[in-house]
């Protein structure tokens, strides 16, 4: 009986030690720490936003630009990562958020490769332009190099429903974009100036990132048109047409890796199941609040945001 209990206790201890060893070793295996270096993959999906939403038990979450930038920086610092590959599938988004991610890409010391899956338009291309090499699916949508500001003007609607707004402001342009009235030519000129400034920054980022690969005077590159991967390739905006495996191979080549490169996904550490449950109600409340505030800001003409 004692021998059986001793054996059972020893077996149990052995299982615990094995589990602990696996937990310790897995991060190194994932990042290529115990062998050939891997290609660190960072995914950029959906609209590019500055403020993310934490994942929970029932919701995958939305990564903000700060989260994405941190993942790129982590991959750049990880010894087991030979090159960084960005899987980009986004229509663009906030210019501030896009700048933040682009800066992290440009500052990376390791080779960087962008892979355009279905869409890498506007801000998506802005980020990709900062990498060393771009691979695109032939039918992916990209390009759309430009900037814009959108706001609602509802003076006609307000007049029909009898809604009047009184705005008391100090400063000539304090209520610029007020939806209760039409914007003056001078106000439109101010907003146009902001858009032109951000467009110039976007254009400069593309020229700097694709130096020697594009014709800087080619109108089709900078007139904000949507391009397929094939069209972008013909204009020098993309280095190679292909799928994810092609992008991995090119990342391996830039990293000097031999054979077929191994991929390791660089992702944000998620909360445990308990943290997910505890934050679920907070997420829902915060989400509803954010949506309602966003709608009201649109109605009030607040919160101007430049998008790329």
The one catalytic residue in 174, 182, 204, 260 is 174
Task: For residue 224, indicate whether it is catalytic.
Answer: no
Residue with tokens 């003007």: 153
Active site residue 65: no
Q: Which of 37, 65, 110, 122 is catalytic?
A: 122
Per DSSP bridges, beta strands 81-90 and 38-45 are parallel
What is the 3-state secondary structure of the chain?
CHHHHHHHHHHHHHHHHHHHHHHHHHHHHHCCCCCCCEEEEEEEECCECCCCECCCCCCCCECCHHHHHHHHHHHHHCCCEEEEEEEEEECCEEHHHHHHHHHHHHHCCCCEEEEEEEEEECHHHHHHCCCCEEEECCCCEEECCCCECCCCCCHHHHHHHCCCCCCCCCCCCCCCCCCCCCCCHHHHHHHHHHHHHHHHHHHHHHHHHCCCCCCCCCHHHHCCCEEEHHHHHHCCCCCEECCHHHHHHHHHHHHCCCCCCEEEECCCCCCCHHHHHHHHHHHHHHHHHHHHHHHHHHHHCCCCCCEC
Q: Annotated active-site positions, please?
A: 122, 174
């Amino acid at each position: 009986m004692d021998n059986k209990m001793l054996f059972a206790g020893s077996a149990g201890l052995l299982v615990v030690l094995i589990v602990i060893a696996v937990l310790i070793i897995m991060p190194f295996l994932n990042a290529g720490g115990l062998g050939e270096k891997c290609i660190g993959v960072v995914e950029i999906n959906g609209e590019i936003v500055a403020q993310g939403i934490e994942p929970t038990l029932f919701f995958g979450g939305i990564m903000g630009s700060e989260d994405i930038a941190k993942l790129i920086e982590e991959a750049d610092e990880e010894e087991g990562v030979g090159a960084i590959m960005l899987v980009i599938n986004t229509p663009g988004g906030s210019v501030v958020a896009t700048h933040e991610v682009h800066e992290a890409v440009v500052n990376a010391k390791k080779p960087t490769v962008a892979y355009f899956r279905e869409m890498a338009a506007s801000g998506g291309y802005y980020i990709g332009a900062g990498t060393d090499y771009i691979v695109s699916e032939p039918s992916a949508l990209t390009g759309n190099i430009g900037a814009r500001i959108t706001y609602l003007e509802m003076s006609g609607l307000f007049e029909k429903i009898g809604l009047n707004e009184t705005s008391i402001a100090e400063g000539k342009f304090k209520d610029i974009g007020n939806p209760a009235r039409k914007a003056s030519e001078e106000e439109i000129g101010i907003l146009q100036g902001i858009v032109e400034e951000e467009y110039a920054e976007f254009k400069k980022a593309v020229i700097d990132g694709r130096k020697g690969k594009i014709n800087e005077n080619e109108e089709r590159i900078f007139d904000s048109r949507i391009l397929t991967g094939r069209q972008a390739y013909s204009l020098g905006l993309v280095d190679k047409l292909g799928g994810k495996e092609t992008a991995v191979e090119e990342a391996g080549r830039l990293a000097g890796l031999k054979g077929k490169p191994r991929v390791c996904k660089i992702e944000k550490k998620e909360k445990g199941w308990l943290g997910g449950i505890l934050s679920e109600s907070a997420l829902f409340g915060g989400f509803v609040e954010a949506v309602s505030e966003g709608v009201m800001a649109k109605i009030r003409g607040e919160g101007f945001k430049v998008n790329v």
